[in-house]
Structure 1
């Protein structure tokens, strides 16, 4: 359970600089594009990893967790708004690492647990 919260918590902290960054590069309206890119990346990551990689989820957990933060380092290069929107999108894609952790957690819950029965129903 502990492995599920640090990476997204750090990503949310990094998202706090998106609005000031957009203002700094002279495109304050691009902040909305950055946040939409994060959401689109999350959706794409969960769909692609969840549907196309069910057997490889656990193997992909670490690289996907790294994808949460590493792309955000690209902001140090001060890209323009269009290129900068790709960075949070890739970062959002990394949220799919939680799919592998969710399976491990579900496997650790005792069979007789009401929570497990309701999660599998």
Structure 2
């Protein structure tokens, strides 16, 4: 049986970074998984400091990542933390999450001793 290769978490991180840096403009970034120009992003953040999380996915292949702590750029709309999922779900579909690789090593800046 043939296996299907999907883009790595690192490829998704790069696409997210390129997409994020272009905001609030229209980012010219294609999906690292399928190559379509269908990437989407939605933020959920605190109204006071615009710090929250991001859901980043492809509207064509329905793969993507979740960023757990980020700042929402000025000029970009976001959902205020506490918005019911029923409202967010009207924009954000259920997509297949791409996870970072499993490792036993702690990041150098984790603040934890091994």
Higher strand share: 2
TM-score (norm 2): 0.26
TM-score (norm 1): 0.25
Q: Considering Cα pairs closer than 8 Å and 6+ residues apart, tell me whether 1 or 2 has the greater RCO.
A: 1
Larger gyration radius, structure 1 or structure 2: 1
Higher helix share: 1
